Amino acid sequence: MNIESFMPHRGKMKLIEDIVEVDKDHCLARATPTPDWPLYSPDGISAIIIIELIAQTTSAFVGWRRRHEGPLGGAGFLVGIQKAELHTRYLPVDTPVFISCTRSLDMDNYGVFDGRVQTDELVCGTASIQVYNP
């Protein structure tokens, strides 16, 4: 699946590399941290990046739904974080992470999406984000 057809992120700031599965209710994406990522240090990638991973997965999720279901609200700019919990200091470099995203609220031009980032062994963090499509 060509993820670039569903999201606007490019270059260094395109962190998601693939959509693993997606349907009208959820999306699962994959990414592999590298030293080129934002918030990199020799210890790894600061776990704060989890919020961007969830935002990008949400963007791809809504892009996919637009393609399959027609115009939708709820995608666009990140306007808020209701709550984010980080369970680790760093994401390890070169270890794939999986990002799941579900919609918890869809309105005309506003949406709330719940996301989780995990490796094969560890839930790294969760966040509930708010997006607005002006």
User: Could you tell me which residues come within 8 angstroms of residue 132 by beta carbon, excluding any fewer than 6 positions away?
Assistant: 76, 77, 79, 109, 110
Q: Residue 84 or 93: which CB sits closer to another protein?
A: 84
Q: How many residues does the chain have?
A: 134
Q: How many CB atoms lie within 10 A of CB 73?
A: 15
H helix intervals, the chain: 49-69
Shortest Å, Cβ 14 to another protein: 6
Site map 70..109 versus another protein, x via CB under 8 A:
-------xxxxxxxxxx--x--------------------
Residue 92 and residue 41 in contact, taking contact as beta carbons nearer than 8 Å? no
Q: Residue 11 or 70: which CB sits closer to another protein?
A: 11
Instruction: Work out whether 114 is an interface residue with another protein (CB under 8 A).
Output: no
Instruction: Work out whether 42 is an interface residue with another protein (CB under 8 A).
Output: no
CA dist., res. 29 & res. 15, Å (int): 10
Q: Residue 36 or 108: which CB sits closer to another protein?
A: 36
Q: Which of 45, 65, 62, 60 is nearest to 119 (CA)?
A: 45
Instruction: Work out whether 24 is an interface residue with another protein (CB under 8 A).
Output: no
Instruction: Work out whether 49 is an interface residue with another protein (CB under 8 A).
Output: yes
Tokens for 130, please give them: 């708010």
Instruction: Work out whether 52 is an interface residue with another protein (CB under 8 A).
Output: yes
Binding site for another protein (CB under 8 A): 8-14, 38-39, 46-49, 51-52, 55, 77-86, 89
